[in-house]
Amino acid sequence: MKILSVAFKNLQRKKIRTFLTIGGVAIAVAVLVSLIGFDAGYQKSLSNDIDKMGYQVLVTAKGCPYEAATLMLKGGGGLRYMEQSVYDKIAKDPRVDKISPQLAATEFDKDRQDGQGGIVLYMGVSDSYLELKPWSKFKTGGWFSNDDADEVIIGYEAAELEQRVPGDQILIPNLNKALKVIGVFERTGTQDDGIVFIPLKTAQRIFNLPGKLTGIGIKLKDIGSLGDFEESLYNEPGIQVISMAQVKGTIFNLVSSSKAMTNSVAIIAILIAVIGVINTILMSVFERTKEIGVMKAIGASRLDVFRIIWLETTLICVLGGILGDIIAILGTNIVEHIIRQVLPYAPAGKLVIITPELLFASFLGAVVMGLIAGVYPAFRASSMRPVEAIRLGD
Amino acid sequence: MANILIKADKINKTYKLFAEEINAVKDVDLEIYQGEFIAIMGPSGSGKTTLLDILGCLDSVSAGKLKVLDNDVSVLKESSLVKIRRANVGFVFQEFLLIPTLTALENVELPLLFAKLPQQRKLAVNLLQKVGLGSRINHLPKQLSGGERQRVAIARALVTSPKILFADEPTGNLDTKSGQQVFDIFKELNQKDGLTIVLTTHNFKLGLQAKRIVFLKDGRIVSRVESSLCV
């Protein structure tokens, strides 16, 4: 027989109490894992979203830069337009490597989301779009037959939603315009998956915006010339320049302020769990005063008693840590779903990334928590005097 | 005469209970020899249990001198007393005080764990057989009768091969029949194995079966009787 089995058997004495305490630890660990996993996953997905745009600089019509940022990412309403002449001018700049004009348009489709209705984002693009995104692959079909064709290429998710394959027709609601599906993109894990792409000229024609653009994506030959390049565009009237690095920074800043809130929630959850563990173990120590006294009478030293109680606490936290990890893994999808509802902008990739390292670190954290929580109850038990514990311990 | 195991020289024990100072043991002189079987008797509150606790190194002495197996324990603190208890003393209590989560066998093995002695399952099983519980070694305390529990407690007290066995009212919670059975085990341990036994009881019928009786009243020894004639 080992000290460990003495401790373990005692935990089985009051199963419900032990289980509830383990549950408290598990919830704290699960919250911790989910929050840290979210931090990691969100940053990664967001970076991925922005990097996969393929351009370092976006030129848009003048307006609020944050509005421009959300437009670019989400394609909300209230679009502003600029003249195509701006594009022609910038395209001549020798520092530009690749450049792609875009015309975004949104339409409300009342049949989306099971009749609740939803916004469909249409993006008019030119052939250079593929140059900026060399990783784009077609799941089926291919590129537009010409730059004024009545054709569309659909992003992966949009295709699934609309249930369209090449050769099908797709109707733009409110315009009563039918276009032919010519291709479907592979999944990219970015916002592009939800977009319906149209040739730029077609878009300008059917949305009645001749010679207009909403944005120009630019990739420079040398990222080091970004500062100079931005400055040279400041003199252009009616446009603004947004670098992707800025956008990333802005969104990360917004997120990090809410991160402080969520982190304090995690800390509170852990504190409550620790207090719960101390309370439970202390209660069980007082209930067992006579038993502890008799252990001492039959030869247990202070250290022996300390170890038994300490082990019990640690066992609770070890089991809680394991359970918490399991809950966190099983609960990822639910957490993702909730976060997506709450966040103003959720990137397309996985929002919560739980790595083995994170699981192990959280488990280790729970063990350390147990070691700390166990000190006081174990000390109280070990300093009981045997004769008092036995004779007066009722 | 045989070796002196315990020598008490005017020992006193006082403790505070609700601001009132209680003098539970007063100027007790007592010598306990190897192989003795002593019953400490007296009315409730006479200090029997306190005296037993002190002799068994479970409690400290307030004044006087107490030697247990050549250790002057009157000056020792709990951290040193535990070592003497572990090596020399076995305890049996009125309420048995087995660990309810452990089986009979595990309860008997527990002192070996604390004494850091090698786990001797065979020794523990043998002891349980000796007290007549060979077939119930894997039962939990709640599955055993009072008499059986007390016999487990005796096996537990014996597992570290103590030189002295202390028992505080060991038959106090038992009916007459199982009380006598338990007492017979003590007698057998004393007669066959030569184990020194010190117990308290207020049951005269049992107490008179000891070799020597010490009567206590208000913390003082009021008479000593060699009762071997009664056995």
- On whether the CB atoms of residues B5 and B34 are closer than 8 A, the answer is yes
A295 at the B interface (CB within 8 A)?
A: yes
Q: Is there a contact between A297 and B58 if contact means CB atoms under 8 Å apart?
A: yes
Could you say which of A12, A290, A300 has the minimum Cβ distance to residue B114? A300
A17 at the B interface (CB within 8 A)?
A: no
Q: Is there a contact between B113 and A386 if contact means CB atoms under 8 Å apart?
A: no
Q: What is the pLDDT of residue A64?
A: 59
Q: Is there a contact between B53 and A10 if contact means CB atoms under 8 Å apart?
A: no
B44 at the A interface (CB within 8 A)?
A: no
Q: What is the pLDDT of residue A175?
A: 80
A390 at the B interface (CB within 8 A)?
A: yes
Three-state secondary-structure class, residue B33: strand
Looking at beta carbons, which residues of chain B come within 8 Å of A390?
58, 93, 97
Q: What is the pLDDT of residue B87?
A: 87
Q: Is there a contact between A301 and B157 if contact means CB atoms under 8 Å apart?
A: no
Q: Is there a contact between A387 and B53 if contact means CB atoms under 8 Å apart?
A: yes
**Which of these, A21, A10, A11, lies nearest to A324 by C-alpha position?**
A21
pLDDT band at residue A344 using 50, 70 and 90 as cut-offs: low
Q: What is the pLDDT of residue A131?
A: 84
Q: What is the pLDDT of residue A187?
A: 84
Distance from the A391 Cα atom to the nearest Cα atom in chain B, whole angstroms: 9
**Residues A259, A270: Cα–Cα separation, whole Å:** 17
Q: What is the pLDDT of residue A378?
A: 95
A15 at the B interface (CB within 8 A)?
A: no
Inform me whether the pLDDT recorded for A8 exceeds 50: yes
Inform me whether the pLDDT recorded for B20 exceeds 50: yes
**Residues A106, A209: Cα–Cα separation, whole Å:** 13
Q: Phi and psi at residue B39, in whole multiples of 5°?
A: -110, 125
- Going from the C-alpha of A228 to that of each of A93, A221, B140, the distances in angstroms are 12, 13, 84
Inform me whether the pLDDT recorded for B231 exceeds 50: no
Q: What is the pLDDT of residue B71?
A: 86
Name residue B6's beta-bridge partners. B32, B68
Q: Is there a contact between B101 and A387 if contact means CB atoms under 8 Å apart?
A: no
Q: What is the pLDDT of residue A70?
A: 58
Which one-letter amino acid corresponds to residue A303?
L
- Put simply, the chain B residues between 107 and 136 with a CB less than 8 A from any chain A CB are 109-111, 113-115, 119
**Residues A296, A301: Cα–Cα separation, whole Å:** 6
Q: Is there a contact between A387 and B93 if contact means CB atoms under 8 Å apart?
A: no
pLDDT tens-digit series, residues A249-293 = 887 787 777 778 878 888 898 999 999 999 999 999 999 999 999
Helix axes A302-342, A289-297, angle to 10 degrees: 140
Looking at beta carbons, which residues of chain B come within 8 Å of A1?
102, 106, 109-110, 113, 119
Count of residues making up chain A: 394
Mean pLDDT of all residues belonging to chain A? 85
pLDDT band at residue A113 using 50, 70 and 90 as cut-offs: low
Residue predicted with more confidence, A118 or A60: A60
pLDDT tens-digit series, residues B28-80 = 999 999 999 999 999 888 889 999 999 999 888 888 999 998 889 888 887 88
- On whether the CB atoms of residues A332 and A34 are closer than 8 A, the answer is yes
Q: What is the pLDDT of residue A192?
A: 82
- Nearest chain B residue to A301 by CA distance is B82
Q: What is the pLDDT of residue A78?
A: 60
**Residues B209, B229: Cα–Cα separation, whole Å:** 9
- Nearest chain B residue to A293 by CA distance is B97
- On whether the CB atoms of residues A279 and A20 are closer than 8 A, the answer is no
A389 at the B interface (CB within 8 A)?
A: no
**Which of these, B165, B226, B220, lies nearest to B51 by C-alpha position?**
B220
**Which of these, B121, B197, B112, lies nearest to B160 by C-alpha position?**
B112
Enter the DSSP assignment of B8: E
Looking at beta carbons, which residues of chain A come within 8 Å of B123?
none
pLDDT tens-digit series, residues B175-225 = 999 999 999 999 999 999 999 999 999 888 888 888 999 999 998 988 888
Show the tokens assigned to B63: 């004044």
The whole-number average pLDDT for the span A337-345 is 76
- Nearest chain B residue to A390 by CA distance is B97
Looking at beta carbons, which residues of chain A come within 8 Å of B53?
387, 391
pLDDT tens-digit series, residues A193-243 = 888 999 999 989 888 888 888 888 888 888 778 888 888 887 777 788 888
Show the tokens assigned to A133: 């995104």
Q: What percent of chain B has pLDDT over 70?
A: 97
pLDDT tens-digit series, residues B74-111 = 888 878 888 888 889 999 999 999 999 999 999 999 99
**Residues B107, B99: Cα–Cα separation, whole Å:** 6
Q: What is the pLDDT of residue B230?
A: 46
Q: What is the pLDDT of residue A67?
A: 56
Q: Which residues contact A62 (CB under 8 A, 6 or more apart)?
A: A80, A238, A239, A240
**Residues A201, A126: Cα–Cα separation, whole Å:** 8
B101 at the A interface (CB within 8 A)?
A: yes
Could you say which of B49, B90, B114 has the minimum Cβ distance to residue A304? B114
**Residues A100, A58: Cα–Cα separation, whole Å:** 10
Q: Is there a contact between B78 and A294 if contact means CB atoms under 8 Å apart?
A: no
Enter the DSSP assignment of B38: E
- On whether the CB atoms of residues A105 and A235 are closer than 8 A, the answer is no
Residue predicted with more confidence, A66 or B119: B119
**Which of these, A335, A368, A338, lies nearest to A353 by C-alpha position?**
A335
- On whether the CB atoms of residues A72 and A58 are closer than 8 A, the answer is yes
Q: Which residues contact A232 (CB under 8 A, 6 or more apart)?
A: A93
Which one-letter amino acid corresponds to residue B52?
L
Q: What is the pLDDT of residue A351?
A: 81
The 3-state secondary structure of chain A, one letter per residue = CCHHHHHHHHHCCCHHHHHHHHHHHHHHHHHHHHHHHHHHHHHHHHHHHHHCCCCCEEEEECCCHHHHHHHHHHCCCCCCCEEHHHHHHHHCCCCEEEEEEEEEEEEEECCCCCCCCEEEEEEEECCHHHHHCCCCCEEEECCCCCCCCCEEEECHHHHHHHCCCCCCEEEECCCCEEEEEEEEECCCCCHHHHCEEEEHHHHHHHCCCCCEECEEEEEECCHHHHHHHHHHHCCCCCEEEEEHHHHHHHHHHHHHHHHHHHHHHHHHHHHHHHHHHHHHHHHHHHHCHHHHHHHHHCCCCHHHHHHHHHHHHHHHHHHHHHHHHHHHHHHHHHHHHHHHHHCCCCCCCCCCCCCHHHHHHHHHHHHHHHHHHHHHHHHHHHCCCHHHHHHCCC
Rg of the Cα atoms in chain A: 31
Q: What is the pLDDT of residue A394?
A: 52
pLDDT tens-digit series, residues A36-89 = 888 888 878 877 777 777 788 888 887 655 555 555 555 455 677 888 888 888
Q: Characterize the bridge pairing of strands A212-213 and A215-220.
A: unpaired
Distance from the A301 Cα atom to the nearest Cα atom in chain B, whole angstroms: 6
Q: Which residues contact A28 (CB under 8 A, 6 or more apart)?
A: A266, A269, A270, A272, A273, A320, A324, A366
Q: Is there a contact between A294 and B109 if contact means CB atoms under 8 Å apart?
A: no
A10 at the B interface (CB within 8 A)?
A: yes
- On whether the CB atoms of residues A77 and A106 are closer than 8 A, the answer is yes
**Residues B168, B39: Cα–Cα separation, whole Å:** 10
Inform me whether the pLDDT recorded for A28 exceeds 90: yes
